Structure 1
Amino acid sequence: MESAVASSIDWGAAALFMLIGLALLWGFAFFLRQNRKDYESLQQTLASEEDEANE
């Protein structure tokens, strides 16, 4: 016997919400990776400017 909740699920809407959720997670991960690269680049720039100032 099927439950009333399981038979009333709109699987198309559920798939759409899952797709949107995965896209948001992917975008957040991409943002964090890009942010880390920018941070490392900034650290290198600051270190090289500090070395030039000390010379």
Structure 2
Amino acid sequence: MEIVTDADGPVMAKDIARALGRELTQGKVEPVPGQLRELAGRGWLARTGAGRYLPR
């Protein structure tokens, strides 16, 4: 949440993975979109049509 709220604009899963210090390989980035969708489903984040996320 903090990474998304501190960003200057919408963020992608790859941006979140990079900020968490993960390698940008498919196996390390792959879980992030699901986690972001879950937060959006709970109403904590807003998802744009391009798969980017913003704070609510």
Q: Same fold (TM over 0.5)?
A: no
Higher relative contact order structure (alpha carbons within 8 Å, sequence separation ≥ 6): 2
- Give the number of the structure whose alpha-carbon radius of gyration is greater: 1
More helix by share: 1
More strand by share: 2
